[in-house]
Structure 1
Amino acid sequence: MVDRVVATQDAQDLMERLKDIHGPLMFHQSGGCCDGSSPMCYPLGELKTGESDVLLGNLPGDIPFYISKDQFEYWKHTQLIIDVVNGRGGMFSLEGPEGKRFLTRSRVFTEEETEALNTGS
């Protein structure tokens, strides 16, 4: 099974710290407004998702990761890799006070991975 979204160990460690403070989490890949194209972390259910959002997958710890349909069309050929770096997070994202910010890296799927995604295997 090919995952469309994964997280580095540093990102997972920060997610665990944030879960201890805020409870269950969710992510939404920002589409460029306000905070650029940062992955935004919220308490689970705080951001209302709808028909214009795609559940890309779950990060470790059963953390759902959403992306808008428009963004998905741009990024559907890549695996999103959620990482963390030092610096200020998005103004609406939970990691801001931690002196860290989540960051999305990506890599293009191989032909084999693309085929697996297309066939659902």
Structure 2
Amino acid sequence: MADEASRVELTPRAAELVRRLRAEHGPLMFHQSGGCCDGSAPMCYPDGEFRTGGSDVLLAELAVEGVDEPVTFWMSRSQYEAWSHTRLIVDVVPGRGSGFSLEAPEGVRFLTRSRVVDAQ
């Protein structure tokens, strides 16, 4: 996982939202599935609320300044295969995402941007 941890980052706006959500909801986790529409966006849950399993990959334990514990970032294995050559950048944009993700009532949603990385 150490190799993969460098492949996920939060923008400053995303980190600020994570701090606010953490203060309200406790420890957090992200999961990005391979579904259509909102399913392909990173969803933020209270840690452990989304059940992960053998079809999921733990990509990172994100250290966020001001948050005591790392925020895990999981992705479905099939989605990971499509994104494995990229660096994932979690950002926040205006708009309404999924009702299941913690940021939905804030009028914003998390969004994954990507940048191709060198294959090693």
Q: Same fold (TM over 0.5)?
A: yes
Give the total of aligned pairs: 112
Cα distance in 1 for residues equivalent to 2:105 and 2:79: 27
What is the letter of the counterpart of residue 87 of structure 2? Q
- Shift of the alpha carbon at 1:4? 1.5
**Alignment partner of 1:103 is 2:111:** yes
Per-residue displacement from partner, 1:20-55 (whole Å, max 9, x unpaired)?
000000000121246241100000000010011000
What is the RMSD of the two structures over their aligned residues, measured on CA atoms? 1.4
Tell me if structure 1 keeps the 8 A contact 2:32–2:39. Answer: no
- Shift of the alpha carbon at 1:93? 0.3
Q: Compute the TM-score of the two structures, normalised by the length of structure 2.
A: 0.87
Task: State the secondary structure of the residue aligned to 1:20.
Answer: helix
Q: Compute the TM-score of the two structures, normalised by the length of structure 1.
A: 0.86
Match of 1:45 among 31, 44, 48: 48
Unaligned runs of 5+ in 1: 116-121
Task: State the secondary structure of the residue aligned to 1:35.
Answer: helix
Cα distance in 2 for residues equivalent to 1:107 and 1:15: 22
Q: What is the identity percentage for the equivalent residue pairs of Structure 1 and Structure 2?
A: 61
Match of 1:27 among 30, 40, 52: 30
Unaligned runs of 5+ in 2: 65-69
Per-residue displacement from partner, 1:55-80 (whole Å, max 9, x unpaired)?
01122331000001111110000011
- Structure having the higher Rg: 1
Cα distance in 1 for residues equivalent to 2:26 and 2:34: 25
**Alignment partner of 1:88 is 2:96:** yes
